[in-house]
Structure 1
């Protein structure tokens, strides 16, 4: 018996050694290190640990689905197009100057000497591209296949609610997802599509999906922190810039290197080109540049400050409320087709990231307890150390969180559980002792409630009130000035008499 146990142990150690060797031997793929510009297909293979998800008991049935998704792969925005055009012009000058010194000209990569921005001259940007449409379309198909009991009814907008922001790439993503979800469920055209409703709030008042845009306190916080983020990045950019100048003989600036890193991400993600801008950087430099992006994401949109995610309480309230309504429908025996079975939302990284933080994803259990006490967390560790917080994992293009509400029958009583899927995979909930299958009451009381005690208006409108007070003061000054002029004019007329 002892010998058999030893043999099993030896085989297990051998398996682990082989697994580690194969992982270490895996070639470096820059497309998995593009922070929030990472394509969905590339991000799905990224995992910081070997989390084993909880098993769903046989007596449990899904009764409601919440989806919070980022839009799919998009083109560069207008601002970034202008940055690439500036890089285009500056590279042309650098190459011309370097060629005058023949000892340097041979070092210049041929592609760089001839490169012109593929987006040069474009006056629009940020639109969902065909690859992004494909990501959401197939996500819709997979969701229906995975949860057939939730999507077996005739479509009705009150049963299958689809919401989006008014930003075109988000609404286009919602449409692509809906086309996949309801594929072959209608009678329109050869694909047997069917029409479905997509609703949105005005940008100016959408505090559920664009809370970051309506939160004046957050805008002020972000503006105040951006210079600090730049200072954190500066030493690393200095180091990489010196190395590129030495290697290629071009007088690069930090801004050039920052723009070349952005170009690398765009080429690799949108055009599948990895042998141009990305080839300028070694794998270790790519890892460090990715880390600086993750730092920025952490400080300005993640766990770096409680305001970053607590401004998302309207979205968390919406999710919890939808699950409570589903439980009520189950308890009271509502007829099929008259209650909501899925609520699906399509927005942005600025929506998905805070929501992930609100439910405590990508944390150890001790860190979760710290954010519940509103204590700050350490910044993500620098490579080569491992970290849970990677933009390529937490919010890639088409990144998503699904919260599946299950009804579990036990001894003639019904209990409810929540399973969280991140990018379609079960993920540990530190607020539920690291399980991915959490009793609804624990999810509600331990994970959601500490955040829901905060009021969005109290969190976000402090500065707005100051602005109103300032505007009121200025109005009083203008009225005072007007009345003084009027009185002066009145006195002048009396003097004329």
Structure 2
């Protein structure tokens, strides 16, 4: 009898705990629902931020104009990330496996009185079907066409004496990686710069692999081993998932969607990714998936992404910036030949690559270096940081170096997202004098040995 009585008490205790949990969840859900914003922070969606939504620093224009007064642009070297795209095969497979069943369960949850979504969001999720298929993977989206077209127009209008001209393959160099989306980006950029009629007659080059200027990291065994495939690279991100900040987001997102159990990090990331993609693709329409997150939650999720890219591609590992040395050597050699008049110069060098290329080149020239390393436990201290993936590498992110002739001397103007940007670690002012930056670029060029750096068996 004593044993039976003990089992009954144990079962009653479990039932009481279960109902207590339900009551607690309902109570906290009421509070959590108040934190949901109507608007998605479209400029804070990490590397899936659309170019038209991305933050751009316009604060240096006044000083820039003073420093290049009387100067004439001679040549531009431009590196651009591909435009807004469809998901990769990995992301697409993960989202297609997770989201259809989640959308149905979310609707059931709300019909049972749990969750925070309004009727419009529920209607959108109830009829939700993946807006992509296997054939779309990694391809440029239509909004990506518009981004690159707009960037081409922007530079044509900025330097009409260089680019408001008839396209001549001897005067322009174009290159891109073997991925379709970079070739498509090049096409639409040239369409914006030279016009619809001209672009049809432009013969684009054949991409090649390995490309040591635009996709050097893929051909670097040491980087692949020590950074990309090294678990230590992702240690801070994994630790962040255990912090109170991230756990509070997991609880809040789960409760807003009506779940009585916390969703897994993978499920939350799938919801977050779909929210980000749909926001980039359809700027005038809010994605119902975004309604799972408050403004604070988006900050936490952005930092979660930042911890990945910071160590995988930027200042978090010293090898990242070093692997971009061949890219900077290309920049240096083009400008050097133009200044010394050694060879017929192209007026524009236009490269189209990936976010990893952008991150590494920015780190190489010291742009947006944070005051301290991003860590799992300093999110609160770094909420106003400048190094954030949403700012540094949205879709169509671009960095340009422009060679100006100013009387008898030359200057280098740096533009990030089309805005003048000081290279404060390399020179004074917004614009660098060639004599200031030349020694650093020349040293990089002389010491750049990817075979040795990457521990390759064969010479490049």
Calculate the TM-score normalised by the size of structure 1: 0.75
Within the candidate set 153, 177, 195, 1:141 is matched to 153
Within the candidate set 324, 334, 340, 1:328 is matched to 340
Pair 1:303–1:116, CA change in 2 (3 A): same
Within the candidate set 420, 428, 436, 1:426 is matched to 420
1:232-251 to structure 2, matched below 5 A, reads 232-235=239-242, 236-250=245-259, 251=261
SS at match of 1:72: coil
Task: Please report how far the alpha carbon of residue 122 of structure 1 lies from its aligned counterpart in structure 2 after TM superposition.
Answer: 3.1
Residue 198 in structure 1 maps to residue 192 in structure 2: no
> Partner of 1:469 in structure 2?
none
> Partner of 1:344 in structure 2?
350
Structure showing greater radius of gyration is 1
For 1:143 and 1:206, the matched residues in 2 are separated by 25
Does the Cα contact within 8 Å between 2:79 and 2:353 map onto a contact in 1? yes
SS at match of 1:389: coil
1:9-24 to structure 2, matched below 5 A, reads none
1:208-223 to structure 2, matched below 5 A, reads 208-220=213-225, 221-223=227-229
> Partner of 2:173 in structure 1?
161
For 1:265 and 1:96, the matched residues in 2 are separated by 21
For 1:248 and 1:57, the matched residues in 2 are separated by 54
SS at match of 1:212: helix
Q: Deviations over 1:145-191 (max 9, x none)?
A: 1112223554321211111112110001101111121127xxxxxx4
Task: Please report how far the alpha carbon of residue 107 of structure 1 lies from its aligned counterpart in structure 2 after TM superposition.
Answer: 6.8
- RMSD of the alignment, in Å? 2.9
SS at match of 1:398: coil
Task: Please report how far the alpha carbon of residue 117 of structure 1 lies from its aligned counterpart in structure 2 after TM superposition.
Answer: 3.6
Task: Please report how far the alpha carbon of residue 398 of structure 1 lies from its aligned counterpart in structure 2 after TM superposition.
Answer: 1.0
Task: Please report how far the alpha carbon of residue 266 of structure 1 lies from its aligned counterpart in structure 2 after TM superposition.
Answer: 1.0
> Partner of 1:34 in structure 2?
45
Structure 1 unaligned spans of 5+: 1-26, 185-190, 368-376, 466-497
Pair 1:106–1:260, CA change in 2 (3 A): closer
Does the Cα contact within 8 Å between 2:365 and 2:426 map onto a contact in 1? no
SS at match of 1:405: strand
For 2:195 and 2:125, the matched residues in 1 are separated by 47
Within the candidate set 439, 448, 459, 1:445 is matched to 439
For 1:169 and 1:270, the matched residues in 2 are separated by 15
For 2:107 and 2:296, the matched residues in 1 are separated by 29
Residue 91 in structure 1 maps to residue 102 in structure 2: yes
Residue 397 in structure 1 maps to residue 392 in structure 2: no
Residue 231 in structure 1 maps to residue 238 in structure 2: yes
SS at match of 1:345: strand
Does the Cα contact within 8 Å between 1:431 and 1:446 map onto a contact in 2? no
> Partner of 1:266 in structure 2?
277
SS at match of 2:241: helix
SS at match of 1:431: coil
1:99-110 to structure 2, matched below 5 A, reads 102-104=112-114, 110=122
Does the Cα contact within 8 Å between 2:412 and 2:434 map onto a contact in 1? yes
SS at match of 1:274: coil
For 2:278 and 2:224, the matched residues in 1 are separated by 30
For 1:322 and 1:378, the matched residues in 2 are separated by 34
Does the Cα contact within 8 Å between 2:427 and 2:437 map onto a contact in 1? no
For 1:433 and 1:156, the matched residues in 2 are separated by 34
For 2:325 and 2:192, the matched residues in 1 are separated by 30
For 1:429 and 1:306, the matched residues in 2 are separated by 19
Pair 1:228–1:451, CA change in 2 (3 A): farther
> Partner of 1:13 in structure 2?
none
Calculate the TM-score normalised by the size of structure 2: 0.80
